[in-house]
Amino acid sequence: MYETAGALGKGERIFITAKLPDYIKVGKDDLIEKYLFLTTSHDGYGSITAAFTPIRVVCANTLSIALKDCSNMIKIRHTQSAQDRLKEAHKVMGISNRLSNQLEDIFNQWVKVNITDAEVKKLIQLALVPNKEVLKNVVEGNEDELSSCFINICNNAYEYGLSSPTQQTDTTRGTLFGAYNAITGYFQNVRNYKDDEAKFKSIMYGTGLIRTQSAFNLCTDFAKHGGPTLN
C-alpha cells in the first residue's frame, strides 16, 4: 500500500514509500511496521534504490539496518524488459522477507538481554562517535577530552533512552532492544534539524542511518559478549 511520495532538493530525486502487510512483533504487543523505500533520480538515468525500512509503531521510530550477511537495499537498473523488472521485484521482496524474519528473531533476543544504565551510556557514546580521535577518548575514558557538543548529543540520547514513555515498555525498559531504540529514537524524535528534508535525508541515507547501523552492530556484539565492544 503506497503511503507517501515526494521530491528532494529542487526535484532532482523523487521517492515513494510502500507499506508491506503484516508486522514484526517484538514481545507481546510491540509492533514494527514493514516498509519499502524507493528513490530514483528525476532524469531517469540513475538506478532505482529499493530499501527495506522497518518503523516501530509506538514512536514512529525508523529502524533501518543491514545485517552482516544481508543488505537492506538493492539497486535496480532502468530497463524496458518486463522479465528483468520481475526479477528485480523478486529480489526486493526476498530481501524484505528475509530481513523481517531475522529482525524479529534478533529484536526478541535483545528483549531478553538486560543492560545497565552505565552500559547504555557507553553504548550510546560508541555509536555516536564522529571520528577516530573521539573514539579513542571514549574507549580510554578521557571524558575531559570530549567536546561539549558531543557530550550534549550523548546526554540527549541517554535521557531519551531512560525517560521517554516509549522506553518504559516491557520490551525496552532495561533491555538491549531499548538501548538500540535510544539511539534510533534520538535521531527520529529528539535531534534538531534545519528542516524536514534534512531530517529525512539523515534518517534514510545520512548520518542518522550511519549511526543507527553502528548502534545495531554494537548491540549485536553486546548480545554475544555481554558488553559494548569494538568488534
**pLDDT per residue over 161-202, tens digit each?**
999 999 999 999 999 999 999 999 999 999 999 998 899 889
Query: pLDDT band at 44, cuts 50/70/90?
Result: low
Is the predicted pLDDT of residue 227 greater than 90, yes or no? no
Hey, which bits of 124-177 come out as E strands? none
User: Would you tell me the crossing angle of helices 176-185 and 207-225 to the nearest 10 degrees?
Assistant: 170
DSSP element (H, E) containing 3: strand 2-8
Render pLDDT for 69-120 as a digit per residue (tens, 0 to 9): 656 777 777 666 666 766 777 677 777 888 888 999 999 999 999 999 999 9
Domains of the chain, by residue range, sit at 2-109, 113-225
Q: Does position 40 have pLDDT exceeding 60, yes or no?
A: yes
- Tens-place pLDDT, residues 114-143: 999 999 999 999 999 999 999 999 999 898
Q: Taking 50 as the threshold, does the pLDDT of residue 231 lie above it? A: no
Residue 152 banded pLDDT, cuts 50, 70, 90: very high
DSSP 37: E
Within a 10 A sphere around the Cβ of 172, how many other Cβ atoms?
28
| Residue 96 cell numbers, joined | 524484505
Entry field: residues in the chain = 231
> Tell me, what DSSP letter sits at residue 85?
H
Q: What is the pLDDT of residues 49-74, one digit of tens each?
A: 888 889 999 998 898 887 766 567 77
The amino acid that residue 164 corresponds to is S
Question: Taking the model in full, what pTM does it have?
Answer: 0.86
